[in-house]
Amino acid sequence: MILKEKSKAIGILKKVYHHANTDYETQYDGIVGYKTDFLSQEQWNILKENNLIPNKIEKWTHDDFINSFLKLKENKKLTLEFSKALFLKGITGDFPRYRQTLISFLYLQKVEEHTYIASKKYSGCAICGLPESTTEDSTHNLFTYYLGHSWNESPKHFAAELEDILQYPKPEIYEKDKELLVKLLLSIDDSDKNETPGQLEKRIAKEKLLPKTDKYKRYGILQTLAILGILPSNAEFDNQPARSDIVLPLAGWRGELGVDFQKAIEIFELKVPKKGV
């Protein structure tokens, strides 16, 4: 299994990308590097074989990103079916790395060729949200995905993420994988009408429904469901005091909006017991 071999590389990266291991001397364009002088030759080889060399600090322009995305859009392997199967396997905890791809894929579908237009409201392009230019450590970004995080705020990380995921086969999905999602949705639907996304996360944590997650990883999974419209969102709720570490569309969910089971059934071909429908 490819991911088993990769876990060695991730174990090494955990030692490198550690807050106590920053190396201000390799700082480049505002990005802080990490010390690697303690790595053995064998550890270097493992990282190299897995294409996960630390401090892979590179400059990207808006157009670099757009070109990468347009190329990815033509890739026949990168389909909705592939991305959905990855997500289902990601939430079971078997393959936490698989959680991000569905968000990246849905973003990718909207990317069209265009030139940068500065947004008046926020920093970045008014059309696609990407920065005009940025410096990134793509291995560090991939590392967070390997730990099981997923985010919708940083499309500048999605191109490297999608390129990385192409090395994995489409996972086989069994009924029990889907049952976990059904359990999660039924639990979400059980909320009080005023429940906020932050309170929802805490409740799910208590119920121990999602293996290999922490608070932020659970936000990532819930955010994916919100992007799909399975957790309906009302942007007005975003203006009410909510947690600042939760962004739209998840920030616009409240208990009274519940779960759109019809949508969930259509997207993931779920079998939901009567109660939910």
> Does residue 31 interact with Zn ion by CB under 5 A?
no
From residue 180, give the alpha-carbon distance in Å to each of 45, 232, 234, 239: 37, 20, 26, 32
**Taking the complex as a whole, how short is the minimal distance between the CB of residue 153 and Zn ion, in angstroms?**
16
> Does residue 242 interact with Zn ion by CB under 5 A?
no
> Does residue 228 interact with Zn ion by CB under 5 A?
no
> Does residue 186 interact with Zn ion by CB under 5 A?
no
Q: Which is nearer to Zn ion, 17 or 116 (CB)?
A: 116
Q: Which residue is nearest to Zn ion (CB)?
A: 125
Distance CA(130)–CA(247), nearest Å, equals: 17
> Does residue 111 interact with Zn ion by CB under 5 A?
no
> Does residue 64 interact with Zn ion by CB under 5 A?
no
Q: What angle do CA 176, 5, 56 make, to 5 degrees?
A: 115
> Does residue 39 interact with Zn ion by CB under 5 A?
no
**Taking the complex as a whole, how short is the minimal distance between the CB of residue 124 and Zn ion, in angstroms?**
8
When computed from its CA atoms, the radius of gyration of the chain, rounded to whole angstroms, is 19
* Strand partners of residue 134: 60
> Does residue 272 interact with Zn ion by CB under 5 A?
no
**Taking the complex as a whole, how short is the minimal distance between the CB of residue 61 and Zn ion, in angstroms?**
11
**Taking the complex as a whole, how short is the minimal distance between the CB of residue 119 and Zn ion, in angstroms?**
9
- Of residues 118 through 147, those in contact with Zn ion by CB under 5 A are 125, 127-128
Distance CA(76)–CA(73), nearest Å, equals: 8
> Does residue 108 interact with Zn ion by CB under 5 A?
no
**Taking the complex as a whole, how short is the minimal distance between the CB of residue 156 and Zn ion, in angstroms?**
11
Q: What angle do CA 219, 224, 228 make, to 5 degrees?
A: 145
Contacts of 188 (CB under 8 A, 6+ apart): 200, 204, 222, 225, 231, 258, 259
Contact by Cβ (8 Å): 197, 246: yes
**Taking the complex as a whole, how short is the minimal distance between the CB of residue 114 and Zn ion, in angstroms?**
6
- Which chain residues interact with Zn ion by CB under 5 A? 125, 127-128
